């Protein structure tokens, strides 16, 4: 299992700016809850899932 940033640097920068604006909450989600703090619960579960391969919801990270 390997997790890396999206190869699209502009995308990474835009999401990082979003994270800065929200104070660390997922910029793609409305709710400011603990499970939506980056790295969010959804992607933590996807990282733990041996069958998952792909981007996180915001496309900041890629897991293969």
Contact residues toward ligand SF4 (CB under 6 A) are 15, 26, 28, 38-40, 43, 56-58, 60-61
Considering beta carbons, is residue 22 or 51 the nearer one to ligand SF4?
22
Tally of CB atoms within 10 A around 25: 20
Distance (Å, rounded) from C-alpha 20 to C-alpha 3? 21
Q: Which of 42, 37, 40, 53 is nearest to 3 (CA)?
A: 53
Considering beta carbons, is residue 32 or 51 the nearer one to ligand SF4?
32
**Least distance CB 9 / ligand SF4 (angstroms):** 15
């Amino acid at each position: 299992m390997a997790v890396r940033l999206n190869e699209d640097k502009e995308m990474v920068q835009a999401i990082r700016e979003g994270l800065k604006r929200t104070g660390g909450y997922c910029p793609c989600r409305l709710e400011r809850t603990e499970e939506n703090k980056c790295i969010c619960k959804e992607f933590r579960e996807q990282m733990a899932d041996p069958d998952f391969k792909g981007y996180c919801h915001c496309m900041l990270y890629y897991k293969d």
